[in-house]
């Protein structure tokens, strides 16, 4: 759910700000995701840009890392032991800022897109993060045989996530059987590719989107990055995941989403 006021300075220049709220299931038991963002959208002919900043907040989180020889929960109180089942660590505050730049080029029935996101402290892990992707979307023309009022589109995206080194809170004093570690000062998260492809229908304010998404992040490195509270001992090892716990959070998914976008136009003179 989101609310986004917009103001058109000129027909080709728009400013906006927004609030978003989403339910989540995070390792630190955060109650929800609360987003605050703002930006500007200039348009030059068939090319539309979008530049802005975004804050992701996760209120109600708990810290899991007390009693270890590495980072503790002193600055993230209250704290307990490691996460149940697997002993992963999680800060109570996972909030972070991110800047972004987007571009979309419309040619006929196609839209070619590119995005870039950057954060100096991704998910408050201490690691910087950058993400870039390219996408293509085809929207069926009005002559396409569809029921009256129903639109159809097909789209796909390929992206790459770069990640830096965490702070000592997420470090490990255990050496990996593969020869990596220990890394008490923090671990270098693995970079990875991600992609999705799908199609959808639109009708009035409603959109039904069916999509396949996947990444090439291993179960071992996924566990190290996400601190997945459902990760179990699966003998998935990597240089940064010496415990052998594997996570399925980064694997392939089929996602069905039904959304409604309501717009109220108000002329301000």
- Residue ranges per structural domain of the chain: 2-260
Residue-level pLDDT at 102: 98
Cα distance between residue 143 and residue 199, in whole Å = 18
Class of domain 2-260 (CATH, top level)? mainly beta
Q: Which helix (H) or strand (E) holds 257?
A: strand 253-260
Cis peptide before 182 (omega within 30 of 0): yes
Residue-level pLDDT at 130: 98
Cα distance between residue 7 and residue 188, in whole Å = 42
| Burial of 66 per CB tally in 10 Å (0-12, 13-18, 19+) | middle
Query: Is the model more confident about 172 or about 200?
Result: 200
Please compute the mean of the pLDDT values over residues 157-181 and round it to a whole number: 90
Q: Are 174 and 242 in contact (CB under 8 A)?
A: yes
**Residue 76 per-residue DSSP state:** G
Those residues whose C-beta lies under 8 Å from the C-beta of residue 171, and which sit 6 or more positions away, are 70, 71, 182, 183, 184, 185, 186, 187
**Residue 225 per-residue DSSP state:** H
Measuring CA to CA, which residue among 137, 127, 131 is closest to residue 101? 131
Residue-level pLDDT at 269: 46
Lowest mean per-residue pLDDT among 50-54, 82-86, 100-104, 149-153: 82-86
* pTM listed for this prediction: 0.90
Chain Cα centroid distance, residue 254:
16
Task: Tell me the average pLDDT of the chain.
Answer: 90
Measuring CA to CA, which residue among 244, 239, 189 is closest to residue 217? 189
Instruction: At 116, list the tokens.
Output: 């870039």
Q: Which helix (H) or strand (E) holds 208?
A: strand 206-215
Give residue-wise pLDDT tens across range 182-225. 888 899 999 999 999 999 999 999 999 999 999 999 999 999 99
Give residue-wise pLDDT tens across range 57-111. 999 998 887 544 445 565 554 445 566 667 788 998 999 999 999 999 999 999 9
């Amino acid at each position: 759910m989101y609310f986004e006021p917009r103001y058109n300075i000129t027909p080709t220049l728009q400013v906006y700000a927004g609030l978003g709220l989403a339910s989540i299931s995070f390792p630190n038991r955060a109650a929800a995701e609360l987003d605050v963002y703002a930006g500007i959208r200039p348009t030059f002919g068939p090319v539309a840009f979008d530049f802005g900043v975004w804050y992701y907040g996760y209120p109600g989180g708990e810290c899991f890392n007390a009693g270890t020889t590495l980072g503790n929960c002193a600055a993230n109180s209250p704290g307990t032991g490691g996460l149940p089942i697997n002993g992963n660590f999680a800060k109570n505050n996972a909030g972070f800022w991110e800047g972004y730049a987007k571009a979309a080029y419309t040619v006929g029935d196609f839209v070619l897109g590119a995005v870039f996101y950057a954060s100096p402290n991704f998910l408050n892990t201490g690691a910087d993060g950058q993400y870039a992707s390219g996408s293509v979307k085809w929207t069926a023309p009005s002559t396409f045989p569809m029921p009256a009022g129903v639109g159809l589109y097909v789209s796909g995206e390929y992206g790459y996530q770069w990640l830096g080194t965490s702070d000592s809170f997420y470090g490990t004093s255990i050496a990996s059987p593969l020869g990596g570690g220990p890394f008490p000062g923090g671990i270098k998260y693995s970079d990875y590719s991600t992609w999705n492809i799908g199609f959808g229908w639109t009708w009035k304010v409603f959109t039904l989107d069916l999509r396949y998404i996947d990444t090439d992040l291993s179960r071992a490195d996924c566990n190290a990055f996400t601190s997945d509270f459902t990760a179990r001992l699966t003998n998935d090892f990597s240089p940064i995941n010496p415990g052998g716990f594997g996570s399925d959070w980064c694997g392939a998914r089929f996602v069905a989403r039904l959304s409604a976008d309501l717009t109220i136009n108000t002329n301000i003179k």
